[in-house]
Amino acid sequence: MPPVSALSLAGSLLRREILDLHAYHVPDSAGYIKLDAMENPYTVPQPLRDEIAAAVAQAAINRYPDPDPAALKEQIRAATGLPAEMGVLLGNGSDELIQLLAMAVNKPGATLLSVEPSFVMYKMIATFTGMRYAGVPLVSNSGAADFSLDLPAILAAIKREQPALVFLAYPNNPTGNLFPADALKQIIAAAPGLVVIDEAYYAFASDSFIPHLADYPNLLVMRTFSKLGMAGLRLGFLAGSTAWLEQLEKLRLPYNVGVLPQLVAKILLEHHGVLLQQAEQLKLERARLYRQLGEIATVQVYPSEANFLLFRVANATEVFNGLKQRNVLIKNLNGGHPMLTGCLRVTVGTPEENERFIVALQESLHRE
Residue 367 confidence (pLDDT) above 70: no
Residue 274 confidence (pLDDT) above 80: yes
Map 115-129 to HEC letters: EECCCHHHHHHHHHH
How do residues 95-123 score in pLDDT, each as one tens digit? 999 999 999 999 999 999 999 999 999 99
Residue 1 confidence (pLDDT) above 60: no
Query: What is the SS3 assignment for 237?
Result: strand
20-34, 96-110, 234-248: least confidently modelled range = 20-34
SS3 content of the chain, % helix, strand, coil (to 5): 45, 15, 40
Taking alpha carbons only, the member of 139, 131, 82 closest to residue 108 is 131
How do residues 309-322 score in pLDDT, each as one tens digit? 999 999 999 999 99
Q: Which CATH class is domain 61-270?
A: alpha beta
Query: How far apart are the two ends of the chain, measured CA to CA in Å?
Result: 59
How do residues 141-192 score in pLDDT, each as one tens digit? 655 668 999 999 999 999 999 999 999 999 999 999 999 999 999 999 999 9
**Over the chain, what is the mean pLDDT?**
94
Ramachandran bin of 124, using left for φ above 0, alpha for ψ from -120 to 50, beta for the remaining angles = alpha
Contact status, residue 222 vs residue 197, Cβ threshold 8 Å: yes
Q: Which CATH class is domain 14-44+274-367?
A: alpha beta
pLDDT, residue 283, reads 98
pLDDT, residue 149, reads 96
Query: What is the SS3 assignment for 343?
Result: strand
Question: Among residues of the chain, what percentage have pLDDT more than 70?
Answer: 97
Residue 125 confidence (pLDDT) above 60: yes
How do residues 31-88 score in pLDDT, each as one tens digit? 889 999 999 999 999 999 999 999 999 999 999 999 999 999 999 999 999 998 999 9
Q: How confident is the model at residue 258 (pLDDT cuts 50, 70, 90)?
A: very high
**pTM for the model:** 0.93
Residue type, 102: A
Q: How confident is the model at residue 131 (pLDDT cuts 50, 70, 90)?
A: very high
Residue extents of the structural domains in the chain? 14-44+274-367, 61-270
Taking alpha carbons only, the member of 37, 61, 19, 130 closest to residue 332 is 37
